[in-house]
Structure 1
């Protein structure tokens, strides 16, 4: 599966999604302009030591990303009415999310058929979820539908990585 972030603005969110993609086997695609530099320390902190385990591509625009990713494309928006759980996901699907402040703009969301425009249900009078949280919700549902293909068995997991990086460096450095 491919995760596409259009104009992401907050480095720690993207860093968290680098970590998510490493742990779920998804590719991460960033569409410029970015609201941060790729060498940003907050991006690295959010991604921990998972940067090397994630396939990440930066595209100059959405058209370039579309040309590179031939699967089914799904846009996520609070303005959609079809729930993300109403889709049978496939391994080559492309999941598209907008920036933290405004989501997908009308030019982008207008490129999607309503059947490929999805939402995550929220309680009344709430605007949205944090971008990294929203992507995580959808990614784990999609991965569940393909029976967690590629997931580690219990004896293959590394335990106890909550306070430091694999090399022993504390998070706060």
Structure 2
């Protein structure tokens, strides 16, 4: 796996099925999955493995105890961070994703903590929802849509 490769980052995920499904997508696309603690479940739970089916053992998984420990270890450039929230000012179609992108998603119930997003307004993106009756989308669906869009821009297609 190349060092310059997109990565999926889940900050304090709460639902094991979503984490398992995102892990499976990461295996399919040969991407690293980075999980930031605390979790709302144990990675040993059957539901994580069930959602990831028999692929969970192949997930290139890295865990961090906090967002600060992630930043301290990885030292991502600001331009490599892409945050996804329903209130993002730009759509996920807007950016030119970089080869070393960190695609960052928050927990299912609350999204990303304000402290993480502070000063990053230009780095926060949304997925369009045309019907206002829908308050939010499933995290695994959003992450999959985002990573395929980001890869499409990388592949020039």
Q: Decide which of 63, 67, 71 is 1:62's aligned counterpart.
A: 67
Name the counterpart of 2:3.
none
Name the counterpart of 2:115.
107
RMSD: 1.4
CA distance in 2, matches of 1:33, 1:9: 9
- Asked if 1:127 corresponds to 2:135, the answer is yes
1:24–1:143 Cα contact (<8 Å) kept: no
CA distance in 1, matches of 2:115, 2:131: 26
Name the counterpart of 2:14.
9
What is the TM-score of this pair, normalised by structure 2? Answer: 0.88
User: Relative contact order, CA 8 A, sep 6+: which one is greater?
Assistant: 2
Query: What secondary structure is seen at the aligned counterpart in 2 of 1:20?
Result: helix
What is the TM-score of this pair, normalised by structure 1? Answer: 0.80
Name the counterpart of 2:57.
52
Cα offsets for 1:76-127 (capped at 9, x unmatched): 1111111111011122110110101111121222252x22111111124221
Give structure 2 stretches of 5+ with no counterpart: 1-5
Structure 1 residues 64 and 111, CA gap change in structure 2 (3 angstroms): farther
CA distance in 2, matches of 1:111, 1:2: 22
1:13–1:46 Cα contact (<8 Å) kept: yes
2:83–2:123 Cα contact (<8 Å) kept: yes
Correspondences of 1:1-173 after superposition (within 5 Å): 1-69=6-74, 70-71=76-77, 72-112=80-120, 114-125=121-132, 126-147=134-155
Cα offsets for 1:30-68 (capped at 9, x unmatched): 111000001000000011121232211110000111223
Between Structure 1 and Structure 2, the one with more helix by share is 2
Query: What secondary structure is seen at the aligned counterpart in 1 of 2:62?
Result: strand
Structure 1 outlier segments of 4+, above 6 Å: none
Q: Which structure has the larger Rg?
A: 1
